[in-house]
Structure 1
Amino acid sequence: MQNLRRHKRLLKLLDEHGEATAQQLMSWLPASAATVRRDLAWLAAHQQLLRLRGGARRLPREVTGASLRSQAFRDALQRQVAEKRAIARHAAGLCRAGDTVIINGGTTTFLMNEYLPASGLRVLTNSFLLAERLLSSSRHEVILPGGSVYREQNVIVSPFEDDVTRHHYASTMFMSAHGLSALGLMESDPLLVQAERRLIQQAERLVVLADHSKFERRSGLVLCGLERVHCLITDAGAPDAAVQWLEGLGVPVVRVAPEAD
């Protein structure tokens, strides 16, 4: 109950001021630095605010929790939060002004929005949730493929081979995946496999974002082979044997430490 009251107070302060530094929030609440960091991490994971370097900004009400209509997506977003956030931060650091990138509709890739620069990118995404967030909190050019909204995964899926994606080129595609296996990247839904394969074809490099739990997950559908992966970003909990095996196949692996909060 105390956490809930403090969260409401913190959001009210951001409603009043638009954005604030962590130091300001510490003095206004009042609360310790560690408590404020934990509160910001929790509220960001629940789409109540956007974390900035050294502080936070309140998200417009129309793009907060109500827009996350998929319970499965909400649940996934709350698992391995620190690991996913660290992976997303590292991935966002690979983007440079002027780049055209593709970002798919996974939970880890969704968290990249918190760490991308404020402008200078062209982002093609099949995640209407990520597109909504980028439009409200950045000045990036955002491109969406045509198709139907797939509510369970918060993505846009086209039943047609000839959709808008084939007219775009990206230097890098950042992709979450359901799981990893010796056969390649795994996915659980045939509609998603179809959509993701079209996106992969338009990118020069494929960077996969996968926390350690993805090494344990299997599915009956292969999205693409490991030879297509140019880099895998995971966390420190990834199994050593699996990392060595991937590197032996020529897949560079970056392991990042989970964020403290």
Structure 2
Amino acid sequence: MVSHKRRKELLKMVIECEKLTIKQLSVLLDASPATVRRDIDWLAERSLLVKMKGGAQNPSLRMQHPLSGETFQNALQCHATSKRAIARQAASMCTDGETIIINGGTTTFMMADFLADRRMTVLTNSFLMAQKLQVSSENEIFIPGGRVYREQNVILSPFDNDITQSHYASKMFMSVQGLSTLGLMESDPLLIQAEQRLINQAEELVVLADSSKFTRKAGLILCGLERVSCVITDTDVSETAVNILEQHGIKVITVQANEERAHGYNSSLNRQYTMDVPEFGRLTPAH
């Protein structure tokens, strides 16, 4: 097996099995322990897996992925179990042959673990997402040109007519800093610039937001709720927040975060509510 195919298989196995020893990988790949060690070193240098004594493990599970920038690293560790369950559900909504867009958030980054078997076209402004998908999958990857902002983990173009303007996507999967009755919220104007360009190229907008995002405030509005097709969140989300989203015609999918750890799979639960409330975080009793 040639080296790049072997490394893709190795990474896929580690993602699926969480952790594997060099001996196990040698048998699975029909390769010598020395070859496996070199492949682990190569993948670890590119932050695609975590090297451990006698083997390798999936970086997303322990949240020790040596990412560029403290902001992204810290956010990756926060609500990690919920984010991973949400990312798994989002990936299950993808089908081979689709063109999708994935923005540079921590929850969306975890989708890469579940897209290894897909055959899609993926446009992303996350250089870490692009690198991981390039090595671990057969998806066709596109990234916009521009400057890499390490803290935000995004690539931003200073030009209005960058590559994103030439792409159409059936879905865009997006992480956000917060949600409110006004819409999706971000605090960094650099992210607003990059993500608004991507949103304009997608037919459906799917937002990945753990329950903490519904009480988090940010200073800038990315887009209104009327642009959102679906929100995937965890079961700790309040009934108030779900009701408001559904009143705006948004499909809400909730996932059980603790089942992600216990069973490696979670089923989505569609929830319906009829309470009429003015905004997230302020409860109005049902009559």
CA separation in 2, counterparts of 1:119 and 1:11? 22
How far apart, in 2, do the equivalents of 1:134 and 1:156 lie? 16
Is the aligned partner of 1:17 residue 2:25?
yes
Residues 143 and 19 from structure 1, CA distance in 2 versus in 1: closer, same or farther, beyond 3 angstroms? farther
Is residue 187 of structure 2 the alignment partner of residue 204 of structure 1?
no
Q: Cα distance, 1:249 vs. partner?
A: 1.6
How has the CA–CA distance of structure 1 residues 163 and 213 changed in structure 2, closer, same or farther, with 3 Å as cutoff?
A: same
Could you list the structure 1 runs, at least 4 aligned residues long, displaced by more than 4 angstroms after superposition.
Answer: 56-59
The one-letter code of the counterpart of 1:260 is: R
Question: Is it true that 1:95 corresponds to 2:94 in the alignment?
Answer: yes
Aligned-partner Cα distance in 2 for 1:257–1:12: 26
RMSD value, Cα: 2.5
Aligned-pair identity (%): 54
The 1-side partners of 2:58 and 2:208 are apart by 27
For 2:243, the aligned partner's letter is Q
Pair 1:19–1:227, CA change in 2 (3 A): farther
| Superposition deviation, residue 65 in structure 1 | 3.8
TM-score with structure 1 setting the length: 0.78
**Counterparts of 1:146 and 1:203, CA distance in 2:** 19
Return 5+ residue gaps in structure 2 as ranges.
1-17, 29-46, 263-287
List aligned pairs for 1:29-108, cutoff 5 A.
48=49, 65-66=65-66, 68-108=67-107
Q: Structure 1 pair 14/78, CA: closer, same or farther in 2 (3 Å)?
A: farther
1:99-118 map, 5 Å = 99-118=98-117
Shift of 1:58: 6.6
1:29: which partner in 2?
none
Q: What TM-score do the two structures reach when normalised by structure 2?
A: 0.71
Query: Counterparts in 2 of 1:161-200, with a 5 A limit?
Result: 161-200=160-199
Partner of 2:128: 129
Q: Report whether the alignment pairs 1:147 with 2:117.
A: no
String of CA shifts for 1:195-254, please: whole Å, max 9, x gaps.
Answer: 100000000100000000100111110000000000000000111111111111211111
- Distance (Å, rounded) in 1 between the aligned partners of 2:189 and 2:249: 28
Question: What's the secondary structure of 1:146's corresponding residue?
Answer: coil
1:15–1:58 Cα contact (<8 Å) kept = no
Secondary structure in 1 matching 2:172: strand
Distance in 2 (CA, whole Å) between partners of 1:57 and 1:260 is 15
Change (3 A) 1:126 1:232: same
The runs of 5 or more residues in structure 1 that have no matched partner are 1-9, 21-45, 51-55
* SS of equivalent to 1:110: helix
Larger radius of gyration: 2
Cα contact 2:95–2:120 (8 A) shared by 1: yes
8 Å CA contact 1:73–1:154 kept in 2: the answer is yes
Between Structure 1 and Structure 2, how many residues are aligned? Answer: 218
